[in-house]
């Protein structure tokens, strides 16, 4: 029974994330539109876009190689697997032990790696521009993410997300300075990783400022759909990561009944909505940075991560 349920949960999870991801993106856009006094497209719009793209023919630059065509699927798969391993509504994921938090971050890293390569494959200035900036941002975001992971691991004594979530949920943890720092840092990293304002603007196509969009400029049709989906998944992943690590309440533990799981799903949806709204509000309230200001912004995350870790070293209580 347990195993079946676990497998079921795992499958449900995979389906759920892929179903929810575009909706989250849609929600964010919707809220942003509302905040700027526009009606905005329906929450389902991203899904519609993706499906339309899937049906369209793909236009390939003359110079594009097989790598360019294979990359979208690879990126999507990596992101999907990563997203599937983050506990969203239940910790008892059957395969959560295949990768811990470090591995999940690294999976996203490989997705980015191939995206950057794909960007350079066409042989235009745009691709390289986007790729180089993306890698620059990642170079600072990843260590920050790892330091956050360190401080979490120090609190939870594990890098397994399920374990971390379980520990975080337990009253033993309580409120901690270091965790607060970790949260802020993680939010900053999330913004950078998902190419959100103020690091990057997902809805711009102005050469000078774009990063992520510059890399995918040459993509079209089903390939673009894959990439969009992967991007949406990534956003979802980060939101649910923050949710499961810092607000782990309501996540169904292993062995709990079906009802508990359903409740957990409901709670999870609530969290997502909250997260999306918060993001939208933040994005509308700040302005996009110059590219070379971004490192300073991410440097804050780096510092906070390191500080949190060191604090924990000084005393487990902090």
Partner 1 sequence: MAPVDAAALLAGALLLLGPAALVLGPRRAAAIYAAAALLCALVAGLGLTALLTGATSTTVLPIGLPWLGAHLRLDPLAAVFTLLLGLGGAAASLSAIGYFRHEPAPMRVLPFFPAFLGAMLAVLIADDAFSFLMSWEVMSLLSWALVMVHHREAETRTAGFVYLMMAAFGTMALLLAFGLMAGPAGGYGFDAIRAVPRSPLVTAVILGLMLLGAGSKAGLAPLHVWLPLAHPAAPSPVSALMSAVMTKVALYAFLRVVFDLMGPAAWWASPVVILLGAATAVLGILLAMIETDIKRVLACSTIENIGVIFAAVGLAMAFRADGMPAAAALALTAALFHAFNHMAMKSLLFLGAGAVLGATGTRMLDRMGGLIHRMPVTAALMLLGVTAIAALPPLNGFASEWLVFQAVLLSPGLPQPVLQMLVPAAGGLLALAAALAAAAFVRLYGVAFLGRPRSDAAATAPEADRPTLIAMGALGALCVFAGLLPGIVLDALAPVSAQLTGANLPQQAGQPWLTLVPIAATRSTYNGLLVAIFIAISGGLVAVAVHRFASRALRRAPAWDCGFPLNDPTTQYGAGSFAQPLRRVLGAPLLGARETVLMPPPGDLSPARLTVSVGDPVWQALYAPLAQGVTRLSIWANRFQFLTIRRYLSLVFASLVLLLLGLTLWA
Contact positions with partner 1 (CB under 8 A) in 158-197: 158-160, 163
Structure tokens at 73: 């699927």
CB 52 within 8 A of CB 114: no
Q: Which of 16, 27, 31, 122 binds partner 1 (CB under 8 A)?
A: 122
Sites for partner 1 among residues 210-249 (CB under 8 A):
217-218, 221-222, 225-226
CB 110 within 8 A of CB 234: no
Residue 318 in contact with partner 1, rule: CB under 8 A = no
The distance of closest approach from Cβ of residue 254 to partner 1 in the complex, given in angstroms and rounded to an integer, is: 12
Residues 289 and 98: their CA atoms lie apart, in Å, by 37
Residues 47 and 305: their CA atoms lie apart, in Å, by 35
User: How far is residue 113 from each of residues 106, 125, 265, 303, measured CA to CA in Å?
Assistant: 10, 18, 33, 25
Residues 114 and 70: their CA atoms lie apart, in Å, by 9
CB 122 within 8 A of CB 128: no
CB 210 within 8 A of CB 288: no
Sites for partner 1 among residues 88-117 (CB under 8 A):
95, 97-100, 102-103, 106-107, 109-110, 112-113, 116-117
Q: Which of 24, 90, 138, 231 binds partner 1 (CB under 8 A)?
A: 138
Residue 133 in contact with partner 1, rule: CB under 8 A = yes
Nearer to partner 1, 140 or 265 (CB): 140
The distance of closest approach from Cβ of residue 92 to partner 1 in the complex, given in angstroms and rounded to an integer, is: 14
R_g (Cα) of the chain, nearest Å: 19
Residue 129 in contact with partner 1, rule: CB under 8 A = yes
The distance of closest approach from Cβ of residue 299 to partner 1 in the complex, given in angstroms and rounded to an integer, is: 9
Residues 290 and 39: their CA atoms lie apart, in Å, by 29
Residue 209 in contact with partner 1, rule: CB under 8 A = no
Sites for partner 1 among residues 274-303 (CB under 8 A):
291-292, 295, 302
Sites for partner 1 among residues 6-65 (CB under 8 A):
54-63, 65
Residue 139 in contact with partner 1, rule: CB under 8 A = yes
Residue 2 in contact with partner 1, rule: CB under 8 A = no
């Amino acid at each position: 029974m347990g195993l079946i349920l676990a497998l079921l949960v795992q499958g449900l999870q995979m389906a759920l994330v892929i179903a929810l991801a575009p909706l989250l993106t849609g929600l964010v856009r919707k809220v942003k539109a509302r905040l700027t006094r526009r009606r905005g497209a329906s929450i389902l719009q991203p899904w519609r876009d993706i499906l339309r793209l899937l049906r369209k023919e793909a236009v390939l630059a003359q110079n594009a190689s097989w790598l360019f065509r294979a990359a979208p699927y690879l990126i999507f798969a990596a992101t999907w697997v990563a997203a599937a391993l983050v506990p969203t509504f239940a910790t008892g994921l059957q395969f959560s032990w295949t990768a811990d938090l470090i591995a999940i971050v690294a999976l996203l890293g490989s997705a980015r790696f191939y995206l950057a390569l794909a960007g350079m494959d066409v042989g235009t200035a745009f691709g390289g521009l986007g790729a180089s900036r993306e890698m620059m941002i990642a170079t600072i975001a990843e260590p920050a993410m790892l330091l956050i992971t360190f401080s979490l691991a120090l609190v939870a004594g594990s890098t397994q997300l399920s374990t971390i979530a379980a520990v975080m949920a337990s009253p033993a943890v309580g409120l901690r300075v270091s965790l607060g720092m970790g949260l802020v840092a993680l939010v900053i990293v999330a913004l950078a990783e998902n190419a959100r304002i103020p690091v990057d603007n997902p809805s711009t196509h102005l050469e000078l400022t774009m990063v992520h969009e510059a890399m995918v400029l040459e993509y079209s049709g089903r390939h673009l759909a894959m990439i969009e989906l992967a991007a949406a998944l990534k956003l979802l992943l980060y939101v649910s990561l923050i949710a499961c690590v810092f607000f782990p309440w309501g996540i169904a533990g292993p062995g709990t009944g079906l009802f508990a799981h359903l409740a957990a799903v409901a709670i999870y949806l609530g969290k997502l909505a909250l997260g999306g709204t918060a993001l939208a509000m933040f994005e509308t309230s700040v302005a996009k940075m110059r590219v070379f200001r971004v490192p300073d912004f991410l440097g804050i995350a780096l510092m906070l991560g390191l500080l949190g870790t060191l604090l924990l070293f000084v005393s487990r209580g902090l």
